[in-house]
Amino acid sequence: MDSSQGLKSLKQIKTTTTKDDPRFKEEDQPLSPMARLFHEPGSNVYIISMLGCKTKIRPDVVKQNLVHSLFRHPRFSSLQVTDNKTGDIKWVPTNVNIDNHVIVPEIDPNIEFPDKFVEDYMSNLSRSSIDRSKPLWDLHLLNIKTTDAEGTGVFRFHHSLGDGLSLMTLFLACTRQSSDTEALPTLPVSKDTAYIKVTSLWSVLEILWNSIVAVMMFVFTVLFLKDTETPLKGSVGVENRPRRFVRKSVSLADIKVVKNAMNVTLNDVVLGVTQAGLSRYLNRRYSEFRCALTLFKKEMCLLYTNCRQSNPTLFPNGFLRLRRTVARLKVIACVIALTYI
C-alpha cells in the first residue's frame, strides 16, 4: 500500500454532515492507538477477503441492503480526518454515496481463466489504496463464473476499521436466515462452559509449567535470537511489492475428521496442515538454504504449545499425534496450492 506519507503529512479533508443524524449528537471520536498505527508508513494495512455466491450477484439488491445494515455502523459511515493543529485523527460522520463503495466492473463472460482473473483482481487491489475523502472500505462485485461460485464479492477494508473478528461479527449481523428473512443467523454454542477442564491438581501445575516455559522462551527469543533467514522473510520495502493471492477449496468434512480424531479445534488442524505443507514446500524448493527444517521445528513447537493450551489434559502427546494423524489421513493435499506460488 502507499506508505510514502506519515501521519503528520495527512491533509485535512472537507466533510459534509447531516445534523439530524443521531450519530452527530456526540463529539467526534479519536482513533484508537492501534487504528492510528495502521496509518504509519510501512503499516498501511488493508484487509482483503472474498465471498463466493451460488447465483449471480444483483448489485441493486446488495446496495439496498447495505444502506440498511453496514451504513448504520459509525466506522463505515465516517471519515478519518486529521486535525491540522494537534495531528490527531478523528472519526467524522459523513453522508455516504453507495455508488462510491460498490464497484461492478465490466467483465468478459467468456474469459479463458476466470479463477486466475479473480486472483489477479485481488492482487491489483492490494497495490492501491482507498481515497481518504470517503470511508475506507469498498466492495467489488465480480459476476464471473469460477470453479466454486457463480459470482464473487471482494471486500476491502482498511485495518483501522477493525480486526478480523469484529469484521466477521459485523458481516454475520448483516445476514439473515434463509427460512426467516427477518431473523439473525444462529451460531452453535459449545456445551462446555470452559475451554479447559481442570480435573486435578496435576493439570493445574501442567498449565502453570507450560505458561512459564512459554514466557521464558519469549524472553530468550527477544534477548538472544533473531529471525531465521528464510525465503519467506520480508526485506525492506516488502510492503510495496506486488502480491499474489492463491486460493484452494478444502473439504470441511476432512478437517472435521482430523479435529474429532485429535480432539482439538478447527484452528489447530488448519494451522498444523498449513505449517506442514509450508515446510515441505520450502524444503523442496529452497533446500539449498537449509531453512525448511529449522522453520518446521519452530512452527511445530508453536503449534504444539497452542494445541496443549487448547486442551492440556486430553492432548498430552499432541505433537506426535498431530503429525501422525495428518500424515495418515493425507489432508496435507489441501495445501498443494502453495506449489503454485
For residue 310, pLDDT beyond 70: no
Instruction: List residues bridging with 139 in a β-sheet.
Output: 102, 155
- Where do the domains of the chain lie? 22-173, 248-340
Q: In this predicted structure, which of 28-37, 73-82, 216-225, 282-291 has the lowest mean pLDDT?
A: 282-291
Say what the pLDDT of residue 120 is. Answer: 92
pLDDT band for position 288 (cuts 50, 70, 90): low
The reported pLDDT for the residue numbered 15 is 41
C-alpha cell at 1: 500500500
What pLDDT does residue 141 have? 96
Please state which of the ranges 175-179, 222-226, 325-329 shows the lowest mean pLDDT.
325-329
Q: 22-173 sits in which CATH class?
A: alpha beta
Output the pLDDT for position 308: 45
- In this model, does residue 278 exceed pLDDT 70? yes
Q: 319 with 300: CB under 8 angstroms?
A: yes
pLDDT of residue 283: 78
Q: Left, alpha or beta for 162 (phi > 0: left; psi -120 to 50: alpha)?
A: left
| Residues 170-196, mean pLDDT to the nearest whole number | 74
Q: Which residues are the active-site residues?
A: 159
Question: Would you report the helix, strand and coil content of the chain in percent, each value rounded to 5?
Answer: 45, 10, 45
Q: Report whether 301 contacts 243 (CB < 8 A).
A: no
* β-sheet with 29-30: strand ranges across: 29-30, 89-93, 78-82
Tracing cell 452527530 back to the chain, one arrives at 24
* pLDDT tens digits for range 243-273: 778 777 788 899 999 899 988 888 889 888 8
